[in-house]
Amino acid sequence: MQQFDVIIIGAGPAGYVAAIRCAQSGLKTACVDKWLNQDGKPSPGGTCLNVGCIPSKALLESSALFDQVNNDYAAHGINCETVELDLATMMKRKNKIVTDLTSGISTLFSANKIKQFTGHAKLLKDKLVEIQLNGKTETIKGVSIILAPGSTPRELDNIKFNHTTIVDSSDALSFNKVPEKLGIIGSGVIGLELGSVWNRLGSEVTILEALPDFLPGADKKLARQALSLYKKQGLQFNFNALVKNVAPEKNKITVEFELKGENNKMVFDKLIVAVGRQANTLSICAEDTGLEIDKQGKIVVNEKCLTNLPRVYAIGDAVRGPMLAHKGSEEGIMVANIIAGHYAHLNYDTIPFVIYTHPEIAWCGLTEEQLKQNGTQYNSGQFSFAANGRARAAGQTHGFVKILADKKTDRILGVHILGEQASELIAQAVVAMEFNSSSEDLAMTLYAHPSLSESIHEAALDVNNQAIHKA
Ligand code: FAD
Ligand code: NAD
């Protein structure tokens, strides 16, 4: 039987990063993953690389270009008479990015001498791992185990995926035709990102959201402004919508839902169900291992990602906390460092959240609503991109930067951005907060002109009412 210092189950951004860091520390490392591509070849990288972060961002980029040519170029004096969509080429480009990156993981595994196993892995007692592929079973043994099985789209009890008319996010990354009428259940991150892609490519998009509020976890003012921009782009929202029944036919689907006490009916070509994700823990371990799994199906871990079993760790989407690739990767590095005997720590308070719509939404730390709720006294500084020279030059003037700082210490407690390149700008906030910076630290920092980043500078100055370009 092959023996390893560490066996990692799952090669998503949590598992493959953990594997690389284990190997870098000189540990004999194996990583097992079951994902196969359309050719039946191993495709490490998990949800993120295969059907998540990367393919969705590829389509967001392509669809944004299509939208810009159609709607923004004329203002720059560029007239394009015939603009045609070649969806097959757009999809081919997206698929190539996925193949290049997933095969890149295999290259990294080889370079780091990580033994890559393909198949479904199950944790047995005594840190044995059983791997099954095509009816064959192999068992390997580890000194330490890292469980990183990730998650899959959550299915609603009354709306089962048929993958033709009722689809999940993976299906919605590979439509071969732009749906004329697209329904989406859930106005969360996936609903907004994939809704934006297909809206830009020509679909009439209707979103049905159960909650009364839009993005309840985001800054209230930011969410309000973003919602109004999305509506202008053509996305239609129904809040407090209770989907009661769906009737799929061959090429369309009728959705019955209750809105403000009234029954409504809409017919779509496709219905994306994007109501959250479920941890992949159903068959991750044999019952006699005694691994603790909570009611939501997540593996129970402490702050260092240790499960209730000695030397068995769990990371990524399968454990508590936000389901984000970078959170899983950092947990992977923390756990690998612990196994290698080093000090390790992860600051969960500075995880950035990004929604890759146009404009983008990004934040780090607490919102005003959360600060009020926990009774923290704070100062707030805000600056609009409309007053930023670079944003004006680019014609991307929507949104603002908001910085929240402790009233007494001036320490930055939260940064919220709606605007062009918010996903890039938020990194400054993460670094500042990781270093426990004050808003004055950012206010005293020198920024290149003209740049979108100057809005962060101005928002920091505004915390003490000293913004320069604000009337
Ligand atoms: P996964 O990426 O789910 O990987 C788990 C791996 O384990 C998979 O390869 C799976 O096949 C394998 N596995 C599971 N069980 C077993 C088993 N028993 N044996 C062997 N292998 C097994 N996050 C962001 O941070 N930014 C984004 O922009 C972003 N965009 C997204 C867009 C979409 C459409 C979706 C669906 C998700 C997106 N996410 C994004 C979320 C992100 O993809 C996940 O948070 C991330 O992939 C979780 O990483 P993970 O390693 O925990 O799990
Ligand atoms: P989500 O939790 O972001 O949003 C789900 C939405 O569906 C919520 O607004 C919820 O109220 C609504 N909902 C739930 N049940 C419903 C019902 N029965 N009817 C109507 N609405 C209902 O989940 P998601 O959009 O599916 O995304 C899943 C995960 O993937 C998220 O945790 C997210 O972190 C991750 N993700 C991240 C990114 C990113 O970082 N840019 C992009 C995509 C996905």
Q: Express each pLDDT in 120-130 by its tens digit.
A: 999 999 999 99
Same domain, residue pair 228 and 305: no
Residue nearest to atom 37 of ligand 1 (CA): 52
- Domain residue limits at 198: 166-275
Whether the CB-CB separation of 362 and 424 falls below 8 Å is answered with: no
Q: Which of 275, 294, 315 is the last residue of a domain?
A: 275
Q: Rounded to an integer, what distance in angstroms lies between the CA atom of residue 361 and that of residue 198?
A: 19
**pLDDT, tens digit, 9 for 90 and up, residues 366-420:** 999 999 999 999 999 999 999 999 999 999 999 999 999 999 999 999 999 999 9
Phi then psi for 335, rounded to 5 degrees? -65, -40
- Number of the ligand closest to the Cα of 122: 1
Q: What is the pLDDT of residue 81?
A: 85
Total domains present in the chain: 3
Question: Looking at the predicted structure, is the pLDDT value of residue 364 above 90?
Answer: yes
Say if residue 214 is in the same domain as residue 140.
no
Q: What is the pLDDT of residue 23?
A: 98
Whether the predicted pLDDT of 471 surpasses 90: no
Q: In the annotation, is 449 catalytic?
A: yes
Quickly count: other Cβ atoms within 10 Å of residue 348's Cβ: 12
Question: According to the model, what pLDDT value does residue 147 have?
Answer: 98
Q: Is the pTM of this model over 0.85?
A: yes
pLDDT value at residue 293: 97
CB 382 within 8 A of CB 462: yes
Shared domain for 131 and 185, answered yes or no, is: no
- Determine the average pLDDT of the residues in 285-308: 97
112, part of any domain: yes
Instruction: Report the nearest atom of ligand 1 relative to the CA of 120.
Output: 19
Q: What is the pLDDT of residues 166-217, one digit of tens each?
A: 999 999 999 999 999 999 999 999 999 999 999 999 999 999 999 999 999 9
Tell me, what's the pLDDT at 260? 86
**Is 370 a domain residue?**
yes
User: What pLDDT sits at residue 397?
Assistant: 97
Residue 246 predicted with pLDDT over 90: yes
- Give the distance (Å) from ligand 2 centre to CA of residue 275: 5
Ligand 1 touching residue 284 (CB < 6 A): yes
Residue 310 neighbours by CB under 8 Å, 6+ apart: none
Last residue of a domain, one of 306, 329, 346: 346
Name the residue of 190, 194, 239 whose CB sits within 8 Å of the most ligand 2 atoms, as the mutation to test its pocket: 190
**Ligand 1 in contact with 316 (CB < 6 A)?**
yes
* Residues 316 and 425 grouped into a single domain: no
pLDDT above 70 covers what percent of the chain? 100
Ligand 2 atom closest to 190 (CA): 25
Residue tagged active-site, from 416, 449, 457, 469: 449
Of 307, 325, 346, the residue at which a domain comes to its end is 346
Q: What is the mean pLDDT of residues 311-321?
A: 98
**Ligand sitting nearest the alpha carbon of 55:** 1
With CA atoms as reference, report the closest residue to 272 among 128, 161, 168, 152.
Answer: 168
Distance in Å, CA 63 to ligand 1 centroid = 23
pLDDT of residue 159 exceeding 90, the answer is yes
Per-residue model confidence (pLDDT) at position 466 = 97
**Count of beta carbons in the 10 Å neighbourhood of residue 325:** 22
Q: Is residue 10 one of the residues assigned to a domain?
A: yes
Is 99 found in the same domain as 41? yes
83 CA from centroid of ligand 1 (Å): 35
> Residue 47 — φ and ψ, nearest 5°?
-60, -45
Please check whether residue 161 lies inside any domain of the structure. Answer: no
For 250-265, the pLDDT digits (tens) are 899 999 999 988 999 9
- Average pLDDT (281-291) is 95
Instruction: Kindly tell me if the per-residue pLDDT of 235 is higher than 90.
Output: yes
Q: Are strands 204-208 and 236-238 parallel, antiparallel or unpaired?
A: parallel
- At 415, give phi and psi (nearest 5°): -135, 130
Residue 68 pLDDT more than 90?
Answer: yes
Within a domain: 101: yes
Of the listed ligands, the closest to the CA of 321 is 2
**Average pLDDT score over the chain:** 97
Q: Whose CA is nearest to atom 43 of ligand 1?
A: 48
